[in-house]
Structure 1
């Protein structure tokens, strides 16, 4: 295996994140002749060029040599960065009480995140490397990391000890460097504009007939996405191949590391975070918040350059579990990172994962002898809830059967994010991949859709926009939909009802326009408006309802049935909940869209059927049904893909609302981490390499 290959080390239940090898010109990890047993907390060295290779797999499985006697690491090799420790090379060496030795800067970077066990033998240390105060001259010094590539020798980085103590104000985010614009990665604006289409319920109405509830579908499609950014396996794009049009992102991940996340859960979370780190670009920035009884920021908002990735790998690998679940404090600290950053990337989001219930803010309370309903909105920091920090959605991932899906769904709903239900442990990475696949492709921001009645007797009725705010103004003559951000190639559909008066020849009903901001250029875009008119003959023969309109009616009916069924289930009326879902399935089955073989209708039917199966009794509903229903509601009302259900179920990653960039990132995740699709009992303490991706 070449020096740019991948490794994945599993030791017990401490699974390391993916990290590229930095050995130059050698196929083995470690010195010649040495066998290798993966350490438990492995931090990658700084690679010459972080590329995402396409590994191959031989018939033998390409498993590296594993020592039968234990560690197998040479005494001259640091178990963290896997480079030699030769005295006199200008790097201090720390020898622990268990006799294992490491570079001093490697081990201090590891223990600063609270991990006080030996990365090799797992012995708990009583004495750890000395922590320097963040105010000392030594801590303020800047040093170059070990084995830093010569072409980056001019760059200096903050010493890891600087982040040992959190500052009072999180304004230490890394500067938005534009170096990579001149070295190959070029960020340009969108290459086209949002497409607007309208579909009337019927194409003609007799001239003498009037109706008060005529339905119009407004269909929007975002511009095409970048050609190379997501699908390319090379993080650094050559100048001549630079066709990147996406906006760089600021992502803050808020991760549950309470006691219930121990073992394989934490191991797979580390692997999933490794995938996220590896797939962010050099202009993207990441910060990680870990929370249990309290919350701590592992490192400031940092660009995912070579060194930024290295520090992020080390931080995630050093995570340990303990304590309770203080979701509120985790979100507060995540919002603080975003609020106090001194510079801002165009796109910003929080990713929250938890497997438990908030044991601090949402403790049961009594009022007049009765349990009060918790204020779930209070879990969301006011800056996000009140839009003080503009447009920062929290994409929430409820993990396992014990998480509080009601509060988690409320967090996503309040912030404008999505809620996903990760039922199986092996689906964490795929769920994260689908989410960042969308975030890395935002091409439209702050979009507003504007409606204007054309005929003097036409007025707007209701606007069915799901989770997106809408309002009718000007005596019901105009309306607005706050559509927010769109991912590349993302589609949105809204149903609007109007009254249609008697008229001759044709009736001009509605003008639809939109305005939005390009996230990179900040240019305000106004695509050409679209006008809708229908013919008004004296007589109209038999005509069929628009399939496009009927399809979206079915989607909204399914969402309404899910909400009603959930309300019944919460009151213990499970048989009524099942009946409501069954009635909706029948209506969809009899619709014109379903009869035409519409794929969305088939998907809705399968989803409603799955919900019925998860409501057979109270135990099944609370463990598997409630979160599944809430994730479905989040998906259909936001018109965005969410993860729901068991990773072994093909319905876990439904194709509904998936964008091409989501599909590409999900494919990459499934190709490069086959271990997540294996049962936990089959996982081995060996390095494994994924097979080459199958051609599409």
Structure 2
């Protein structure tokens, strides 16, 4: 992977020391001779508690069969189920006939409680116990309920997920319906450097599983981080973890996708910003790339207009921050307060659109949230807002195909 790093300041600096925004766009560019993608090691962990009875479990099974059909012969798949206990449905192995997998899945029936941590732990253990150098391991955890067997404290679960990540096993989560705890699933995805999906209805499961596979297939750099030097960082508008080294933990880097980061810094004209991008490549080797940028001086004391692309990215991230607030208010039943907060965000986005910025997707999200809130669907609104905000603020939604 040959990454490019583009740095765009909001405007040239005028005063001796001032706060300004910088857009940092990271794009892994195509190799002259594309390298084969690393094989995937996927552990699908399925909730089979009583609430999954009927259509939810049936469609979860169909989604697993779809995964089996779309993976390549070099990929490996395992399936774990959990209710009051944990069962290994399929040990980690290379992709086999769909009929054999279907027979094993047909034995699964819904009933019992929700040993969420135990199910995740087994999936992670299968990947760690038979790790292959260069393979890309991930747990995909699907549940429609709340952990009530074994370890149930969110912090304890997230700590174990983070430990698995230090051993190269990432975790994504899928919440089905309205009963699951979105804060738990989001914290697991956050700690596991993975995606958090909201499947409002079981019918969404096949599409979400396919999206997860696409994310893995296009990953060219994992355990990515960004070090910043030479300036004072006041804020990072993305929602990123800070590593013990002081660097920012980035989402996985994806081929030909651009990752947009918005840094708010305090600096002087002429100072040099230094960036150090690091990642683990397909051969499990740690790679680094450095970039430097001299902050420009304004030609006069007059304040220039801000760069439109910086304004656009900032508006999207600020709208996502508002969605987090709306999710919290909706979960507490404060629907009128949530609507008022959303209306303020709508006004800001409409102002940006009138000035020529492409913020239509953000405005559509606001409209959908408003629709749910006005219908009194507080759980739906909370989960929808939380999942959209997570994808946007962690940089996963920004990884769009390079034009």
The TM-score, its normalising length taken from structure 1, stands at 0.54
> Match of 1:555, SS?
helix
C-alpha distance in 2 between matches for 1:657 and 1:396:
19
Structure 2 regions of 5+ residues with no counterpart? none
Say if 1:343 and 1:466 are closer, same or farther in 2 by CA, change over 3 A: same
Q: How far apart, CA to CA, are the structure 2 residues paired with 1:302 and 1:472?
A: 35
Q: Would you say the 8 A contact 1:249–1:348 is kept in 2?
A: yes
Deviation at 1:300, TM superposition (A): 1.4
User: 1: CA distance between counterparts of 2:66 and 2:295?
Assistant: 50
- Is 1:424 aligned to residue 180 of structure 2? no
- 2:275 aligned with 1:512: yes
Tell me, yes or no, if the aligned pair for 1:581 and 1:608 is still in contact at 8 Å.
yes
* CA distance, structure 1, for counterparts of residue 202 and residue 233 of structure 2: 46
**Counterpart check, 1:633 vs 2:389:** yes
Rate the CA distance shift 1:318–1:349 in 2: closer, same or farther, 3 A: same
Secondary structure in 2 aligned to 1:535? coil
Question: 3-state SS of the aligned residue for 1:287?
Answer: strand
Report 1 or 2 for greater relative contact order, CA contacts < 8 Å, sequence distance ≥ 6: 2
Q: CA deviation at 1:472?
A: 11
Q: Secondary structure at the match of 1:516?
A: strand
Task: Provide Cα deviations, 1:296-355, integer angstroms capped at 9, x if missing partner.
Answer: 011211011x45x55434322433222222212211211221232254553111111112
In 1, Cα distance between equivalents of 2:207 and 2:195: 15
Partner of 2:241: 469
CA 1:276–1:430: 2 relative to 1, 3 Å: same
User: Shift of the alpha carbon at 1:539?
Assistant: 4.2
Does structure 2 retain, via aligned residues, the 8 Å contact 1:460–1:496?
A: no
Gaps spanning 5+ residues in structure 1: where? 1-189, 228-242, 363-373, 454-458, 474-478, 642-655, 661-696
Partner of 2:30: 224
Whole-angstrom distance in 2 between the partners of 1:387 and 1:267 = 29
CA contact 1:327–1:379 (8 Å) conserved in 2: no
Structure-2 change in CA distance of 1:318 and 1:487 (3 Å) = farther
Out of 76, 79, 84, which is 1:285 matched to?
76
Q: Distance in 1 between matches of 2:378 and 2:311?
A: 31
Contact 1:293 1:326 in 2 (8 A): yes
2:144 is matched with 355
Give yes or no for the alignment of 1:598 onto 2:357: yes
Counterpart residue number, 1:496: 263
Asked if 1 retains the 8 angstrom alpha-carbon contact of 2:259 and 2:399, the reply is no
Which residue number in structure 2 is paired with residue 533 of structure 1?
295
What is the distance in 1 between the residues matched to 2:31 and 2:111? 42
Query: Structure 1 residues 659, 403: closer, same or farther in 2, change over 3 A?
Result: farther
2:43 match: 252
Counterpart CA distance in 2 for 1:320 and 1:527 is 50
Partners of 2:203 and 2:287 in 1: how far apart? 42
Contact 1:438/1:659 (<8 A) preserved: no
Aligned counterparts of 2:289 and 2:75: Cα–Cα separation in 1? 29
CA deviations 1:181-205 (Å, max 9, x no partner) are xxxxxxxxx4xx1110000111x34
* Cα distance, 1:313–1:615 mapped onto 2, change above 3 Å: same
Separation in 1, partners of 2:180, 2:399: 25
Give the strand-richer structure, 1 or 2: 2
- Matched residue, 2:163: 386
Following superposition, the deviation at residue 495 of structure 1 comes to: 2.0
Q: What displacement does 1:575 show?
A: 0.8
Q: Which residue of 351, 368, 383 corresponds with 1:610?
A: 368
- In the other structure, the counterpart of 2:116 is 327
2:237–2:318 CA contact under 8 A, matched in 1: no
Tell me whether 1:483 sits opposite 2:265 in the alignment: no
Cα distance in 2 for partners of 1:588, 1:260 equals: 40
* 205 and 658 in structure 1: CA distance in 2 versus 1, 3 angstrom threshold: closer
Cα distance change of structure 1 residues 563 and 195 upon mapping to structure 2, 3 Å threshold: same
Tell me how far 1:267 sits from its aligned partner: 2.4
Alignment coverage as a number of residue pairs:
402
Q: Any idea what SS the aligned residue of 2:341 has?
A: helix
Say what the alpha-carbon RMSD is for the aligned residues.
Answer: 2.8
Deviations 1:80-125 (A, max 9, x none): xxxxxxxxxxxxxxxxxxxxxxxxxxxxxxxxxxxxxxxxxxxxxx
Cα distance, 1:250–1:659 mapped onto 2, change above 3 Å: farther
- Deviations for 1:233-281, whole angstroms, at most 9, x for unmatched residues? xxxxxxxxxx662111111000112233232322222221111001111
1:659 Cα shift? Answer: 5.0
Report the structure number with the largest CA radius of gyration.
1
Matches within 5 A, 1:293-372: 293-304=84-95, 306=96, 311-341=100-130, 343-361=132-150
CA change 1:561–1:402 in 2 (3 A) is same
Residue aligned with 1:558, SS: helix
SS at match of 2:377: helix
Q: Distance in 1 between matches of 2:365 and 2:32?
A: 32
1:509–1:534 contact (8 Å) kept in structure 2:
no
Structure 1 residue 563, shift from structure 2 partner: 2.1
> What's 1:268 paired with?
59
Counterparts of 2:117 and 2:90, CA distance in 1: 19
**CA distance in 1: counterparts of 2:332 and 2:54, whole angstroms:** 36
- Determine whether 1:546 maps to 2:310: no
Q: TM-score w.r.t. structure 2 length?
A: 0.89
Question: Which position in structure 1 is the counterpart of 2:326?
Answer: 565
Offset, 1:546: 0.9
Following superposition, the deviation at residue 361 of structure 1 comes to 4.9
C-alpha distance in 1 between matches for 2:176 and 2:238:
25
Aligned partners of 2:117 and 2:208: how far apart in 1? 22
Shift of 1:430: 0.6
